[in-house]
Amino acid sequence: MSYEILGITVLWIFLYGYLIVASIDFGAGFYSFFSLITGKRHRIHPIVERYLAPVWEVTNVFLVFFFVGIIGFFPETAYYYGTSLLVPGSIAIVLLAIRGVYYVYSQYGNRNNKFYMFLYGVSGLLIPASLSIVLTLSEGGYIHENNGVVSLDYHALFTSGYSWSVVVLAIVSVLYISAMFLTYYAGKAKDKEALEILRRYALFWSVPTILCSFWVFFSIQRHNLEHFTKMVDNAWFFVASFICYAIAVYLVWKRRRLQISFVMVMLQFGFAFFGYGKSHLPYILVPYLTLHEHFTNKSMALALVIVFLLGLLVLVPSLYLLLRLFLFDAHYVRGKLSKK
């Protein structure tokens, strides 16, 4: 395996990890706000809070690794994406800051303040919407270079059906992934009332998630026919994703094996995400950046690969210990202090 393939694979793994962990975090924040305005806060908020308390600090580690890595492996991404992502990137940073402030505020202030809860909940939907623009731009047609000046065509971006399909999919996927995980978590906590509420959320958002997935798939055909053709050539990724989706929804519908159900959700997005990434190669940004022509030198690549693999070897066991010792502790999950 070449350094280029190894490097982009490691980066894609970090981005996939962020997709899953951040989706649960962002969706949980929205459901916490939604439960407040619908009068169901006392039913599902304890489940949401027990998840968020030990996990929120580590969510952005995956994102930081990815952005550092993409610039390290492909230095010219800073040139092309730096200017064009100035506005959407700044919006995402502000929204992430709002969530960080809320986490601190909630420990010392009034957790039931509707205004702060509104900012917290809505930011959880706007962050993935703003970050998804990176994937949209990578398809080409939005970023232009003229006489050494890189610019973003906002008119093309905001009037593109493909662009909006990605944004909508990012939002509904967050709500779907989070609801599926929280359903499993409520079941593990043996909180039947919360389980039924979150189960309804999961089943509800499963429908727009799969519909938006098809919307994105066929929007790519109109926007980037070459990429669409490669996706068809790698269709088994997406067929496997749909099968995992069907199994996950069926298990939640029947209230059976909720842990396996969420594993199927992870596999559903894993197959789709890596199928999309594989079919996108060799382009990093159409038509300006490619995997092989714009890769860093071999010495830098070797150093980065080693560092990022070591990062994975440290991060994954750390997350496992965090989940094992806190999140899925038999006493903690039921709202009790661990007796271990």
| pLDDT, tens digit, 9 for 90 and up, residues 112-139 | 667 778 888 888 889 898 889 888 999 9
Q: Give the model confidence (pLDDT) of 306-317 as tens digits.
A: 888 888 788 778
CA distance 133 to 86: 12
Q: Give me 10's structure tokens.
A: 């490691």
Q: What is the pLDDT of residue 202?
A: 94
Q: What is the pLDDT of residue 56?
A: 61
**Terminus-to-terminus CA distance in the chain, angstroms?**
45
Are residues 238 and 231 in contact, defined by beta-carbon separation less than 8 angstroms?
yes
Task: Using pLDDT thresholds of 50, 70 and 90, give the confidence band for residue 57.
Answer: low
pTM of the model: 0.89
Which residue would you say has higher pLDDT here, 316 or 228?
228
CA distance 52 to 239: 33
Q: Is the pLDDT of residue 189 over 80?
A: no
User: Which of 115, 215, 128 is CA-nearest to residue 176?
Assistant: 128
Q: What is the pLDDT of residue 334?
A: 56
The DSSP result for 279-329, as a single string, is HHTTEEETTTEETTTTPPPHHHHHHHHHHHHHHHHHHHHHHHHHIIIIIT-
The DSSP result for 13-33, as a single string, is HHHHHHHHHHHHHHHHHHHHH
Measured CA distances, 8 to 60, 113, 193, 239 (Å): 19, 43, 43, 23
CA distance 151 to 309: 34
Q: What is the pLDDT of residue 338?
A: 43
CA distance 228 to 225: 5
Task: Using pLDDT thresholds of 50, 70 and 90, give the confidence band for residue 339.
Answer: very low
Q: Average per-residue pLDDT in the chain?
A: 84
Lowest mean pLDDT among 108-117, 138-147, 286-295: 108-117
Lowest mean pLDDT among 39-48, 117-126, 312-321, 329-338: 329-338
The 10 Å Cβ neighbour count of residue 262 is 24
Report helix, strand or coil for 151. Answer: strand
The 10 Å Cβ neighbour count of residue 86 is 11
Which residue would you say has higher pLDDT here, 190 or 177?
177
